Amino acid sequence: MSLEIRRNILIGVTLSIALVLILRLIQLQLLGQEEYGMESRRNSIKTVTIVPARGLMYDRNGVIVVDNKPAYLVSITPSQFDTLQKGEIASLLEIDQQVIDSLLKSAKGTHRFNPVLIKRDVDFKVISYIAENQDRLNGVDFQVEAIRLYPNDFRASHIFGYTKEISPKMLEEQVGDYYKQGDLVGKKGLEKTYEEYLRGEKGYELISVDVKGREMGAYNDGKDDIEPVNGSDLILSLDGELQSYAEKLMAGKRGAIIAVDPRNGEVLCMVSKPDFDLSLFAGSTSAVELNAIVNDPAKPLFNRVTLTTYPPGSTWKMMMGLAGLASGKITTKSTIFCGGSFSLGSYTWQDHGSYGSIPLPKALEVSSNVFFYKLGYNLGIDDFHKYCTMLGFGQKTGIDISEEGQGRLPSREYYNKIFGDGKWPGGVMVNLGIGQGELGVTPVQMVAYTAAIAMNGLYCQPHFVAKIINSNTGEVTIPEFYKRDIDFPDEYWEVVKKGMYLVVNGASGTARGIKNEDYILAGKTGTAQTQGNNHSWFVGFAPFDDPKIAICVLGENAGWGSQFGAPVAAAIMIRYLSNNSVDMFNQNESKITPVIQD
């Protein structure tokens, strides 16, 4: 190859390389200016997240029931932290060094300049030590954050719920990128349901740092900082004084109470016992404390109002009456002979007494089992399932807390699966007629059903939140909850309500011990058979002619419905109607005795 050709090739290669370099320079300087400029800024800016205060919760009377208080958290900036001090920090915060390793490992790439949360709700003495040794403890910082405070003489554990640090799984599954490692998120109760309202919007403080991560001052004089926006406040339908009273009535017991305004479904009080101290979850919960609650055999974390599934006993008899009327098996004037027992094949079911031929209201008053044995048997499973579904059973009510079961409403398909097609025991419908057998309901289903009876078929979704108020703008949001009419003739509702009136006010009523001269109460006792002592049920509403409260009380292993459920329910209804001024339970507890085993 001639010298001239080699020279031309060399010139061509050199020009090609120069052209590539020039094009790359143009790309970096012009086309990629925004992208690479942003990357450069990320490498020279430390972003400090300012967590907003969660929204507060108020009861129906404007009293704060969930508040915030200041607390300290400790963070480490990976790029500044001297790992030789890891043992000292772990000892100071009373955590394992492996915890620090794991948390810092998650900070990658440009995030090494951003602080990583290590522990929250740190004692002030620890914060003082860090502040005094700030020059030596490089990269170890502290901030003030707001954690929950409960300024009440009641707990309402299963209502308010609690927050916890977001899990890796939740981080992966979140829509968007709002949450970061270490963020608190609503885990249970109202905290979870209304998380997007309560959490607010984060703020950000931008700090210039050098290549070694040392802080140089506010970036752009703080002009690009973003102020946090506090969360919105919840105005609840809860009556704090009534909640306190109801919890005291359940002290030392196991069971559930829920009371609603039947006109709109607003929950006035809700108690699940045993419960737990929410303040344990407000800050940093130790493994010992958490394990004690989780492994407690009394199951305090279990919400007995929304998750318990027990047979309702005789509180189910209004349901059977309505199903019998709607299906045409009985009329409002029909009578059924109740001779003290009912036989089917070789088996006989007993009753409390012999009442002769009686109509539906009388059957409810005396809680005749034979009346409902026969009605259940004649009704059949298909009509049973159809009309019970219309009253909300076998499905969730939609109450606005984060956990709820749907109960168990047997159907033809259910029994075919359990026993085989056409192989059911003959007494299946007999037992269902008195609220026993395979049937299971939750107290929240029972109070919604009772409220619908009180309102002649107006079924309202139970709920706690009446208003949501933006704490910054004052804008008010009214959440929407469903209402529906159960299309039965008014005479059906009236004949059932007459029976509930007689239960309390009739001469033979099973709850006549709670009759009150000032307020006309109506209701139904019930007892769920179980191993050991029976479960005590009562559902009711008041005043009879203008219902303002409907209630369900369940006492686990508390005996007959007239023994525990009825007096507790009466006390709460009267307490509410008297503007929390009358303590009927304490005044009359010694006088209230079970009048019948129902």
What is the DSSP secondary structure assignment for residue 279, as one 8-state letter? G
Whole-number percent of the chain with pLDDT over 90: 79
Q: Is residue 410 within 8 Å of residue 388, measured between CB atoms?
A: no
Whole-number percent of the chain with pLDDT over 70: 90
* Region of 156 on the Ramachandran plot (φ > 0 left; ψ -120 to 50 alpha; else beta): left
Phi and psi at residue 39, in whole multiples of 5°? -60, -40
Instruction: Give CA separation, 531 vs 12, 255, 425, 535, 554, in Å.
Output: 96, 16, 22, 10, 16
pLDDT greater than 70 at residue 278 = yes
Structure-token pair, residue 288: 């010992």
Q: 543 preceded by cis ω (within 30°)?
A: yes
pLDDT of residue 426: 84
pLDDT greater than 70 at residue 591 = no
Mean local confidence (pLDDT), 484-503? 98
Output the average pLDDT for the chain: 91
pLDDT greater than 70 at residue 33 = no
pLDDT of residue 590: 36
Structure-token pair, residue 371: 């009346």
Q: Beta strands of 228-315 (E only): which ranges?
A: 233-236, 255-260, 267-273
Question: Pairing relation of β-strands 335-338 and 255-260?
Answer: unpaired
| 246 alpha-carbon distance from chain centroid | 18
Q: Is residue 147 within 8 Å of residue 262, measured between CB atoms?
A: no
**CA–CA distance, 312 with 537 (Å, rounded to integer):** 7
Over residues 388-435, the pLDDT tens digits come to: 999 999 999 999 998 999 999 999 999 999 999 989 998 999 999 999
Q: Is residue 266 within 8 Å of residue 238, measured between CB atoms?
A: no
End-to-end Cα separation, the chain, in angstroms: 115
**CA–CA distance, 174 with 159 (Å, rounded to integer):** 24
**CA–CA distance, 340 with 349 (Å, rounded to integer):** 9
pLDDT of residue 490: 98
Mean local confidence (pLDDT), 514-520? 96
Q: 44 vs 167, which has greater pLDDT?
A: 167
Q: 501 vs 43, which has greater pLDDT?
A: 501
The SS3 of residue 591 is helix
Mean local confidence (pLDDT), 186-192? 97
**pTM (2 d.p.):** 0.90
Q: What residues contact 279, with CB distance under 8 A and at least 6 apart?
A: 148, 149, 150
Confidence class for position 2, pLDDT limits 50, 70, 90:
low
Q: Is residue 412 within 8 Å of residue 356, measured between CB atoms?
A: no
Give the per-residue SS3 of 211-243: CCCCEEEEHHHHCCCECCECCCEEEECCCHHHH
User: Which among 55, 51, 46 has a CA at the least distance from the CA of 228?
Assistant: 51
Confidence class for position 246, pLDDT limits 50, 70, 90:
very high
**CA–CA distance, 569 with 539 (Å, rounded to integer):** 8
Mean local confidence (pLDDT), 235-263? 98
Confidence class for position 244, pLDDT limits 50, 70, 90:
very high
Question: Pairing relation of β-strands 341-344 and 458-460?
Answer: unpaired
Mean local confidence (pLDDT), 332-357? 96
pLDDT of residue 216: 85
Over residues 104-145, the pLDDT tens digits come to: 887 665 467 789 999 999 999 999 999 999 999 999 999 999
Q: What residues contact 29, with CB distance under 8 A and at least 6 apart?
A: none
- Residues paired with residue 523 on neighbouring β-strands, in sequence order: 540
Kindly report the number of other CB atoms within 10 A of residue 597's CB atom. 15
pLDDT of residue 376: 97
* Number of Cα atoms under 13 Å in the Cβ half of residue 441: 33
Over residues 68-109, the pLDDT tens digits come to: 999 999 999 998 899 999 999 999 999 999 999 999 887 665
Helix, strand, coil in percent for the chain, rounding step 5: 40, 20, 40
**CA–CA distance, 82 with 23 (Å, rounded to integer):** 43
pLDDT greater than 50 at residue 34 = yes
Mean local confidence (pLDDT), 38-51? 70
**CA–CA distance, 469 with 198 (Å, rounded to integer):** 10
The SS3 of residue 468 is strand
- In this structure, the dihedral spanned by the alpha carbons of residues 324, 327, 329 and 332, taken in order and rounded to 10 degrees, is 60
Measured at the CA of 500, the angle between CA 430 and CA 457, to 5 degrees, comes to 85
| 399 alpha-carbon distance from chain centroid | 8
pLDDT of residue 39: 46
Q: 214 vs 273, which has greater pLDDT?
A: 273
**CA–CA distance, 52 with 39 (Å, rounded to integer):** 27
**CA–CA distance, 492 with 285 (Å, rounded to integer):** 53
pLDDT of residue 45: 86
pLDDT greater than 50 at residue 592 = no
- CA quadruple 460, 462, 465, 466: dihedral sign: positive
pLDDT of residue 422: 84
pLDDT greater than 90 at residue 3 = no
Instruction: Give CA separation, 160 vs 66, 156, 163, 234, 279, in Å.
Output: 8, 6, 10, 11, 11
Mean local confidence (pLDDT), 374-401? 98
pLDDT of residue 594: 46
